[in-house]
Amino acid sequence: MENQNNMSSQNIQQIGQNPVNQQQSILEKPKVNYWMISTILLAVILVLGGFYTYKFVSDQSSRIQQLSNTPIPTTSQIIQPSPAENSTSPAPTNNNQQSKIYDGKFISFRYPTSWYVWSYGRGVSLDYFQINSISQADEQNVNRVIIAFDIQIPGYTEGQTLEEQKKRIEGFQKESLDVKYVISERKIDGLDALVYERTIANSPSYEKTVWVRKNNVKYIITMTAFGETQKSRDSLVNQYKQDFETILNAVKLKYVDPTEVEKLGNHPD
């Protein structure tokens, strides 16, 4: 009987102890799971942080390498200033053509070296300068273009102001119906200038004149195209009109004392 009682008490004790053990094991398992989750999260953060750091360093290295490979202009690559005016050495222009400088008492400008300088004099003008699309040896060639710079004091011709000159050209238009004039305005060295283009019916010639006045001097700059036919004339105009425009944009009108201008006008060289 005692043995049975002992066995019974032991069973009861074991039965009483089992729920406690089970509760302890249940409570211990969550601790292990939380630790594993924290460890995994920390590992993920470390991996992502390492990847971001590597990417950032790699991008910075690429930028530094790209900057180091960019060529730096040396002194030999820098375009030097143009030579002194009236120098025979050509100077570079914006359209990569070589150019020379005309530097007169009243006006200065650049012109391409592909043009030929020759003329037959200046007459009553204070100054006269002419460039040609052909050499003087080929002056009998029908197809040619002339750009002339004629500088006068008021009185040699009519039209003493821009408005008077405009009315003068409009009068020509009314008198000669076979002559077509296209009148417009522009700036020359910051001053208002009159532009008039002239074409004659059934004539293979074309003329574009820019008229501007500064102080007591009139500047008359004209581009004239002569063609064997109207078609060849138009071809010449299209070929050289950009040169004319480039020259006009480079024109500088100089100041000369009016009394000196008058003296030069009375006794032209």
Q: What is the CATH number of the domain that holds 150?
A: 3.40.1000.10
223 close to 205: Cβ distance less than 8 angstroms? no
Question: To which residue do tokens 């180091």 refer?
Answer: 68
Kindly state whether residues 185 and 108 are assigned to the same domain.
yes
Question: Roughly how many angstroms between the first and final C-alpha of the chain, as a whole number?
Answer: 160
Kindly state whether residues 203 and 98 are assigned to the same domain.
yes
Kindly state whether residues 121 and 167 are assigned to the same domain.
yes
DSSP string, 87-156: -SS-EE-TTS-EEEEEE-SSEEEEEETTSEE--S--TT-SEEEEEESS-GGGTT-SSEEEEEEEEE-TTS
* H-run or E-run covering 20: helix 2-69
Kindly state whether residues 52 and 168 are assigned to the same domain.
no
Domain stops at, among 28, 59, 79: 79
Domain stops at, among 55, 79, 103: 79
Phi, psi of 42, rounded to the nearest 5 degrees:
-65, -40
How far is 111 from 102, CA to CA, in rounded Å? 8
Q: What is the mean pLDDT of the chain?
A: 78
- Do the domain assignments include residue 112? yes
Place 93 in a pLDDT band, splitting at 50, 70 and 90: very low
pTM here is 0.63
Kindly state whether residues 75 and 115 are assigned to the same domain.
no
Kindly state whether residues 36 and 167 are assigned to the same domain.
no
- Do the domain assignments include residue 85? no
- Do the domain assignments include residue 86? no
Kindly state whether residues 73 and 172 are assigned to the same domain.
no
- Do the domain assignments include residue 215? yes
Kindly state whether residues 99 and 202 are assigned to the same domain.
yes
Question: To which residue do tokens 């009519």 refer?
Answer: 158
85 close to 73: Cβ distance less than 8 angstroms? no
* pLDDT beyond 50 at 95: no
User: How many domains is the chain partitioned into structurally?
Assistant: 2
How far is 216 from 33, CA to CA, in rounded Å? 102
pLDDT of residue 49: 67
Domain housing 41: 1-79
Domain stops at, among 20, 49, 79: 79
pLDDT digits (tens, 9 = 90+) for 187-213: 999 999 999 999 988 889 999 999 999
95 close to 237: Cβ distance less than 8 angstroms? no
Kindly state whether residues 107 and 37 are assigned to the same domain.
no
Kindly state whether residues 99 and 22 are assigned to the same domain.
no
Give the closest residue to 213 by CA, choosing from 183, 255, 173, 259.
255
Kindly state whether residues 116 and 40 are assigned to the same domain.
no
What's the rounded mean pLDDT across residues 19-29? 49
Between 4-13, 147-156, 195-204, 234-243, the lowest mean confidence (pLDDT) is in: 4-13
- Do the domain assignments include residue 84? no
